[in-house]
Chains A and B, each alone.
Chain A
Amino acid sequence: MTGREATMSITVEVRYFGPLLDETGVAHETIELELPARVHEIDSRIRTLRTGLAACTYRLAVDESLKEADDLVTEAREIALLPPFSGG
């Protein structure tokens, strides 16, 4: 973020999966986010709220689409935190 864009505060649902459930104790919750924001900024906001995630490895998906750390998010309804998969 450059700080020059107009921002808006939105409510999003954050969902936790796999081993992250042991760190958060909840499967989902709603939080307030300022958008637009980079994915790493959103991640920092979530880690501030959920300090148990500090040592965890995961990727963020915004509205069911996996994102990279520098991707810009302009709108979101759901943020999913996805640790390494273990299906099969």
Chain B
Amino acid sequence: MKSGFAFHADAVLTEGPVDPGVVPAVVRRFAGTGGAGADVLFMGHVRADVTEAGTVRGIEYTAHEPMARAAFAAVVRDAAAGAEVIDLEVRHSLGYVPAGGISLLIAVATAHRDEAYRVSRAILEGIKRDVPIYGREIIDEETSRWKVNR
């Protein structure tokens, strides 16, 4: 790995929606590195999907937390392998996130844009594939359905 950033898997899982205030803080931190020429920020929001049972009000996220932390570390390590990642931040929600809330943040800083896009996408797909997190879409107090990743 050519990257020199420090990734803290223990800090990824956050209770409730990801605070939008994390975004400017991360951008300032990336800018402060001096070497970052390209930042890619991905944010996943909970959609108010309209289903046969009604409109999704929010998603309740649960996880096997120790396994999830280990899987986040492996996903980031693999995605960054061979790339010159200057800095990186990943947050994922646990608990309830209302529609419109941010449930996932992936921020990657590299010297050039191609690597930033590639690493960001690899982390996103790795999370969906390898991290034991489950989302239950809440329709109303009596109706819910388990989210299925596509």
Is chain B found bound to chain A in the same assembly?
yes
Interface residues of A (CB under 8 A from B): 15, 17-19, 22, 61, 64, 80, 82-88
Contact B44–A86 (Cβ < 8 Å): no
Interface residues of B (CB under 8 A from A): 44, 61-64, 66-68, 70, 92, 103-104, 124, 127-135, 146-149
Residue in contact with A61 in the complex, picked from B67, B128, B130, CB distance below 8 Å: B67
Q: How many A-B residue pairs have CB under 8 A?
A: 64
Rounded to whole angstroms, the CA-CA distance of A61 and B63 in the bound complex is: 13
Contact A85–B44 (Cβ < 8 Å): no
Contact A87–B64 (Cβ < 8 Å): no
Q: Report the minimum CB–CB distance from A76 to chain B (whole Å).
A: 15
Contact B44–A17 (Cβ < 8 Å): no
- The SS class assigned to the A binding surface is loop
Rounded to whole angstroms, the CA-CA distance of A84 and B130 in the bound complex is: 9
Rounded to whole angstroms, the CA-CA distance of A19 and B63 in the bound complex is: 12
Contact A18–B67 (Cβ < 8 Å): no
Contact A86–B64 (Cβ < 8 Å): no
Q: Which chain A residues border B67 with CB–CB below 8 Å? A: 61, 64, 80, 82
Contact A87–B70 (Cβ < 8 Å): no
Contact A18–B70 (Cβ < 8 Å): no
Q: Report the minimum CB–CB distance from B17 to chain A (whole Å).
A: 15
Contact B61–A64 (Cβ < 8 Å): no
Rounded to whole angstroms, the CA-CA distance of A64 and B67 in the bound complex is: 6
Q: Which chain B residues border A82 with CB–CB below 8 Å? A: 64, 67, 132
Rounded to whole angstroms, the CA-CA distance of A41 and B134 in the bound complex is: 26
On whether A88 and B127 interact (CB within 8 A), knowing A18-B62, A82-B132, the answer reads: yes
Q: Which chain A residues border B132 with CB–CB below 8 Å? A: 17, 61, 80, 82, 85, 87
Q: Which chain A residues border B92 with CB–CB below 8 Å? A: 87-88
